[in-house]
């Protein structure tokens, strides 16, 4: 107990002193996960729009499948992306393995189901009179989708934020695709895993506190969004 307490104090000291390693890892985590949320957003939001606004055979099943993928274990996504981008994989030529770009790609894949699913839910909340009004005023199908996304912007932003949160807090993809290379692909979660296993509890706890704080901040932001 004593040990945890003094470790916690020293962890806080590390944060307060803006320990270079802590700062660097935090920023990298932010950068990679924000990028992956952004990348996933620009693909998944329009895709969610297209799925939501069209009627087609198997739509219900597709949405169910997407929702099943919400809780896909991150290591399985890691494995899938690994197979895709490893030397012999179809995207092997891009040299994405063990690079931040590969992590961004992998995390984007990981959060895509959530983002598509939550976008669909968000857009379903836009009333049909709004769609009829857009159509009646001469909007094309694509313009209607854009209008509906704009109408649901708060909920769509929440979907992106949730995706960011999931990317930031996952370990599987970051470890398997990034490889936890110091100063290059080491992020909060992989650093915590490593430092804990090496007995560097103070550094682990410092990083853990930061991770929890960010998650908390995201949740507060989400609540503020949804409270409106």
Q: Which residues bind other proteins (CB under 8 A)?
A: 127, 129-130, 132-141, 143, 147, 150-151, 153
Which residues lie closer than 8 Å to 201 by C-beta, 6 or more apart? 3, 7, 195
Q: Considering the complex, what minimum distance in angstroms separates the CB of residue 57 from other proteins?
A: 18
The whole-angstrom separation of Cα 161 and Cα 115 is 9
Nearer to other proteins, 128 or 197 (CB): 128
Q: Which of 218, 205, 139, 186 is nearest to 4 (CA)?
A: 205
Of 137 and 181, CB closest to other proteins: 137
By beta-carbon proximity to other proteins, the closer residue of 136 and 197 is 136
Minimum CB distance to other proteins, residue 134 (Å): 8
Q: How far is the CB of 137 from other proteins (least distance, A)?
A: 4
Closest distance of CB 148 from other proteins, Å = 10
Q: How far is the CB of 132 from other proteins (least distance, A)?
A: 6
- State the CB neighbour count (10 A cutoff) for residue 227: 6
CB of 214 vs other proteins, minimal distance in Å: 30
What gap in Å lies between CA 10 and CA 96, rounded to an integer?
Answer: 37
117, 111 contact by CB (below 8 A)? no
The alpha-carbon radius of gyration of the chain (Å, integer) is 20
Closer residue to other proteins (CB): 22 or 158: 158
Query: Which residue reads 């935090």 in tokens?
Result: 26
The 3-class secondary structure across 107-143, one letter per residue, is: HHHHHHHHHHHHHHHHHHCCCHHHHHHHHHCCCCHHH
28 versus 131: smaller Cβ distance to other proteins: 131
């Amino acid at each position: 107990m004593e040990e945890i307490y003094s470790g916690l104090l020293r962890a806080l000291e590390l944060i307060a002193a803006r320990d270079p390693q802590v700062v660097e890892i935090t920023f990298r985590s932010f950068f990679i996960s924000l990028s992956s949320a952004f990348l996933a957003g620009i693909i998944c939001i329009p895709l969610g729009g297209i799925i939501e606004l069209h009627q087609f055979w198997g739509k219900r099943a597709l949405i169910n499948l997407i929702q099943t993928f919400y809780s896909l274990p991150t290591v399985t996504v890691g494995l899938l992306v690994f197979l895709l981008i490893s030397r012999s994989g179809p995207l092997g030529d891009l040299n994405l393995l063990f690079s931040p770009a590969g992590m961004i790609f992998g995390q984007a894949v990981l959060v895509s189901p959530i983002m598509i699913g939550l976008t669909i839910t968000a857009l379903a909340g836009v009333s049909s009179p709004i769609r009829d009004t857009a159509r009646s005023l001469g909007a094309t199908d694509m313009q209607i989708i854009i209008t509906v996304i704009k109408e649901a912007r708060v909920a769509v932003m929440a979907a992106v934020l949730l995706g960011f949160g999931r990317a930031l807090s996952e370990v599987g993809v970051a470890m398997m695709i990034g490889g936890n290379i110091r100063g290059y692909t080491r992020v909060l979660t992989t650093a915590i895993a490593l430092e804990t296993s090496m007995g560097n509890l103070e550094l682990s706890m410092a990083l853990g506190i930061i991770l929890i704080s960010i998650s908390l901040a995201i949740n507060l932001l989400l609540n503020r969004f949804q409270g409106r």
